[in-house]
Amino acid sequence: MSPRQLRLLCAALLVVVVSACSTLPDSGEVHTRRAREDTSQVYFAPPGPAKDDSPAGIVRGFLLAMQANPPSTAVARSFLSARAKDTWTPTQGTIVYDAATLDSAVDVVTAHLRDAFRLSPAGAWLDGTDPTTTTVPLTLVQEKGQWRIDNPPNALAVPTTYFGSLFVGYDLYFFDRAGSVLVPTRVYLPRGDRTVTDLVRGLLAGPPRSQSDVAISAFPPKVDLDGLAVVVNDKGIADVPLTPAILALSPVELNRVVVQLAWTLRQVPGISRLRLTVEGAPVPLSGGRTDVSVAAGAEYDPLVSPERQLLTVSGGRVLRDDGDEAVAVGGPFGQTGFALRSIAWSTHEHAIAGVSASGRRVFVAPDQGSRSPTRVRAVLDGGHDVLRPTYDRFGGLWLVDAAPGGAVVHLVTARRDRVVQVEGISGRPVSAFTVTRDGSALVAVLGTGPNPTLEVSNLVRGTSGRLEQATAARTLQISGADLGPARDVAQNGPTSVAVLTRPSGAGDQIVYVELDGSPIAEGPPGTGAPDSVPGELAGLVASPDPALPLRVLTADRRLFSLIEGGGWTRDSLTNVVAAAYPD
């Protein structure tokens, strides 16, 4: 028996022994978003070098050639010297720029790429929302009497106007540090037949620097792709060839690897199952199987709550909307007697948090059982203007008090109220906030002025899920002219939020923002950002769950749902003071 066969046999025996505690489901509902492939993109085949072209002309042609659609670097490579053709590796990153100007000096042409951003080799957006001018000095040499570029940057350079045509957004899925939920990371990959391979390479590279304190990979550092590409056969099975180091993983660890792959690869149309191989032989998985459905890993879902019903405050009670009618919730808030202006619902804790009409007090009560008022407890008393609360997936209740001296951030856990200092958020004029469904980020919007910003703080947790630190917030400028004050924010996708603003002299507006700062934010499938809203709005009701529509609450207490095509339909509920999806 060969060493490779012995390793695979040992792995198979170990999987059988412990599969009862590490079994992956073979089917189930798929909740992740599919990548939006636009099959209508215009075909563009750029020309190669013109005979006797000048150094500046060669550089202009090189920049144009990188806009080939479908994406290809074959023509761009023809502008390079023989030496550079062999060493140029444009897969090492991407530069996205608004405009290019050239300065020529004999055999050196300097390209100034204005308002430029960078993507990592895995496709992660690196530079937030602050563009810079990237200066690229290019040395040209003559070969057979023709100028050619000898030192191209190891990156693809693409104009912003073409970026959406050449690249597609996907999510890489890593684990939180507690290993209890997946954390999505947005990446942008060139269209084409290398998408699946690029996604796997992105997982192997690990979380980007911006998420390294909140996300981890199940792949050991020594594991790599063993081959040039991941191949998808005509049965929809993706074969992922890995190096032998993967065989050192325990079945539980291997299951986590499969979960990351399943969630990431399910975004690619045509893939239904995946299989790991080492030196051409399938790696045995839990239950003795050699392949698994991409629907595996539902228990690590970062998007969907166990409940999908809507809670509303109407007529002095908290109601649960089951789609046909609104009925009072169990517990004390299901009866009149509590004047609440905003609520949050933790299905995990079976608890509802409510902010009093004055904004000074916050109450918590169970969502089931007896309606006795004695079951209501005050978790914050003496606030100034407490914003809409939210729960994290670990049962923590997050509160932000918009006090005269600036925001005060509270985290309530196990009856303990803890003030959390968040640099960039605490002490500032916060108008709304949310915590992402996976519990990895606190997102606050600063509401003053015509150009609002988002402040994003990573929530660093220990292996038990307990908060260890809230990092200094990153500032994201919300793109758009004269957006006006930001009034609300809510997560509406795996890596994006919806922001409600009020432009001067215009009606309310909803914009979508990617939390990495990239400019291409997608709304719910089939809708996009709405061009208009149904009147003056009081707030947003949103969820990253793709099955739940974006809703808005108007100032006159009506509730509307966003429908396909960007229109609105009015809900049957009336006199709605507040509404919330489950956290």
**Residue 185 falls within a domain, yes or no?**
no
Nearest-angstrom CA–CA distance, 502 and 486: 7
What average pLDDT does the chain have?
Answer: 90
Q: Does pLDDT of 97 surpass 70?
A: yes
Residues 237 and 343 in one domain: no
Q: What angle do CA 226, 217, 292 make, to 5 degrees?
A: 65
Average pLDDT over residues 145-153: 98
**Per-residue confidence band for 527, with pLDDT thresholds at 50, 70 and 90:** low
| Same domain flag for 205 and 245 | yes
Contacts 24+ apart (CB under 8 A), 165-168: 165/38, 165/41, 165/42, 165/69, 166/67, 166/69, 166/71, 166/190, 166/191, 167/94, 167/123, 167/191, 168/35, 168/36, 168/37, 168/195
Neighbours of 179 (CB within 10 A): 13
Is residue 108 included in any domain, yes or no?
Answer: yes
CB-based contact 264:173 (threshold 8 Å) = yes
Q: Is 529 exposed, middle or buried (0-12, 13-18, 19+ CB in 10 A)?
A: middle
- Across the range 74-102, mean pLDDT stands at 96
In a domain, 280, yes or no: yes
Question: In the prediction, which pLDDT does 20 show?
Answer: 37
Region 441-448 average pLDDT: 91
Confidence band of 130 (pLDDT split at 50, 70, 90): low
Q: Which two tokens stand for residue 482?
A: 């004269």
pLDDT of residue 126: 87
pLDDT band at 86 (very low <50, low <70, confident <90, very high): very high
Please tell me whether residues 250 and 345 are part of one structural domain.
no
Report whether pLDDT(581) > 50.
yes
pLDDT at 10 (0 to 100): 42
Helix/strand/coil for 496:
strand
- What is the pLDDT, as a whole number, of residue 36? 52
66 and 13 belong to one structural domain = no
C-alpha distances in angstroms, 347 versus 77, 169, 325, 384? 56, 31, 20, 28
Which segment of 133-137, 143-147, 257-261, 302-306 scores lowest on mean pLDDT?
302-306
Helix 251-265 and helix 3-18, axial crossing angle in degrees, nearest 10: 90
For position 323, what pLDDT does the model report?
A: 72
Using one digit for the tens of pLDDT, what is the confidence trace for 368-398? Answer: 988 888 899 999 999 999 999 999 999 999 9
pLDDT at 448: 74
Q: What are phi and psi of 210, to 5 degrees?
A: -65, -15
Tell me the C-alpha distance between 284 and 251, whole Å.
9
Q: Is residue 48 part of a domain?
A: no
How does pLDDT run across 489-505, given as a tens digit for each residue?
Answer: 999 999 999 999 998 87
Task: Give exposure, 95-106, as e/b (b: 16+ Cβ within 10 Å).
Answer: bbbeebebeeee
Whether residue 123 is found in the same domain as residue 224: no
Q: Cα angle at 453 between 447 and 455, to 5 degrees?
A: 100
- How much is the average pLDDT of 178-187? 96
Give the pLDDT confidence score for residue 16 in this predicted structure.
37
The answer, yes or no, to whether residue 76 has pLDDT greater than 60, is yes
Pick 487 or 128 by higher pLDDT.
487
Instruction: Label residue 39 by pLDDT band (50, 70, 90).
Output: very low
Whether 208 and 122 have beta carbons less than 8 Å apart is answered as yes
The DSSP letter of residue 244 is: G
Render 514-573 in DSSP notation, one character per residue. ETT--S----STTT-S-S--SSSEEEEE--S-TTS--EEEETTS-EEEE-TTS-EEE-S-
Instruction: Give the end of a domain, one of 110, 131, 166.
Output: 166
User: Could you say which of 255, 281, 300 is where a domain stops?
Assistant: 300
* Lowest-pLDDT range of 103-112, 143-152, 253-262, 502-511: 502-511
Residue 392 lies in a domain: yes
- Asked if pLDDT for residue 23 goes beyond 60, the answer is no
pLDDT class of 415 with cuts at 50, 70, 90: confident
Statement to judge: residues 314 and 442 lie in one domain: yes
In this predicted structure, the answer to whether residue 29 has a pLDDT above a threshold of 80 is: no
538-548 pLDDT per residue, tens: 999 999 998 99
Overall average pLDDT of the 247-252 stretch:
95
**DSSP for 386-402, written as a single string:** BPPPEE-TTSPEEEEEE
- Do 503 and 382 lie in one domain? The reply is yes
- Determine the structural domain holding residue 295 and report its residue range: 3-33+191-300
For residues 539 and 389, the answer to whether their CB atoms sit within 8 Å is no
pLDDT reported for residue 528: 62
Query: Residue 158's beta-bridge partner residues?
Result: 96
pLDDT of residue 3: 44
CA angle centred on 165, ends 86 and 267, rounded to 5°: 90
Percent of the chain with pLDDT over 90: 76
Residue 546 maps to a domain: yes
Same domain, 342 and 439: yes
Mean pLDDT of 562-569: 90
Q: What is the pLDDT of residue 521?
A: 61
Tell me the pLDDT band of 523, cut-offs 50, 70 and 90: low
Q: Are residues 91 and 213 in the same domain?
A: no
More confident residue, 481 or 63: 63
Same domain, 159 and 216: no
Residue 441's nearest CA partner among 414, 426, 461, 413 is: 461
Ranking 73-77, 267-271, 561-565 by mean pLDDT, the lowest is 561-565
Is residue 475 domain-resident? Answer: yes
For residue 38, being part of any structural domain is answered with no
Number of structural domains found in the chain: 3
pLDDT-derived band of residue 31, with 50, 70 and 90 as boundaries? very low
Regarding beta strands 273-278 and 292-293, do their DSSP bridges make them parallel or antiparallel, or are they unpaired? antiparallel
Q: Which residues pair with 442 in a beta bridge?
A: 435, 457
Q: Distance from first CA to last CA of the chain, Å, rounded?
A: 53
Nearest residue to 181 via CA among 544, 551, 423, 490? 544
| Strands annotated E in 287-360 | 292-293, 310-314, 317-321, 326-328, 340-346, 351-356
**CATH number for the domain harbouring residue 156:** 3.10.450
For residue range 184-221, list pLDDT tens digits in order: 999 999 998 899 999 999 999 999 999 999 999 999 99
Check whether 131 has a pLDDT greater than 50: yes
The model's pTM is 0.89
- Looking at the DSSP bridge assignments, the partners of residue 225 are 242
Q: Are residues 241 and 160 in the same domain?
A: no
Q: What is the pLDDT of residue 449?
A: 73
- Domain final residue pick, 300, 324, 339: 300
- Please tell me what DSSP assigns to residue 33: P
- What CA–CA distance (Å, rounded) separates 469 from 473? 12
Give the per-residue pLDDT at 370: 84
Same domain, 285 and 330: no
**Residues 30-48 as b or e (16 or more Cβ within 10 Å = b):** bbbbebeeeeeeeeeebee
